Structures are given as C-alpha cells and as structure tokens.
Amino acid sequence: MVKPIMRDLFFLRQKAEKATKEDFPVAIDLLDTLKAHEDGCVGMAANMIGVNKAIIAVNMGFMNVAMFNPKIVKRNGKYETEEGCLSLDGVRKCVRYQEIEVEYEDINFKRQRQKYSGWTAQIIQHECDHLNGIII
C-alpha cells in the first residue's frame, strides 16, 4: 500500500529498530511507495513512511530491492556531493563513498553481503543514514 511521506524531523532523527520477519508488510508498503514516487525518488527508508524499522528500498536500475537491517561494513573512495530527499525540501551537501560493502537480510530473510558502487552505493548510503537518524 502506498503510504504518505513522513516529514517530521523529530521522528526522522530516531535510530531505527531492528526489523524482523513480522515487518515483511512494511517492506511491501515501502516498495509500493517507492514505485509510486519513481519519477523523483530512487530509494526510501521505512521511517520515511512512518515506521521506525531498519528496512530500506533501493532502485537497482532494473528493479526495486528491499533490504532488512542493512549495515555498511566497508567504504572506499570518499567524495562530496549534493542530495535531495522526499522528506526534506531542497538539496544538501554530504559525503559519500564510491564503493561500499553491505551486510543485510533479503526479502526472504537470507543473510547477504554485497558490494555496490557508483549511484547504487550512493542511494544505499543515503537510506542507511535515515536508519541511523542522520538527516542530510
């Protein structure tokens, strides 16, 4: 189900709680909401739809993917950029990394460890910031 976008900064600054299998419907809502905003959005975190759980949805170019409890475990190639967010007005400067490695649970709650680079890595970093209560 497509959910409204959360814009409350107090809520968005809270660190996300660990997601469990019972949070599967949240991932579906997150994917639906990302799809509904695909014209101006490439990733979302659960707190952006009002749920304080560690779940993100990322556009991988060919499909949207949900990640439960993602953790960035390696970073390489620091750079500065500007990003926008559906939960905020305007764009802001931030620091990102060209290459990252992420541990997460997939939609079937199978443990994964993947490397990402470029645009996809940037999206994941932005959404993981959301999970840590970091607002660009």
Which residues are known catalytic residues? Answer: 127
Enter the tokens of residue 22.
Answer: 């019972």
Please state whether beta strands 91-105 and 64-84 pair in parallel, antiparallel, or not at all (unpaired). Answer: antiparallel
Which one, of 5, 3, 10, 1, lies nearest residue 86 by Cα?
5
Residue 77 backbone zone (phi > 0: left; psi -120 to 50: alpha; other: beta): left
Which one, of 83, 133, 125, lies nearest residue 102 by Cα?
125
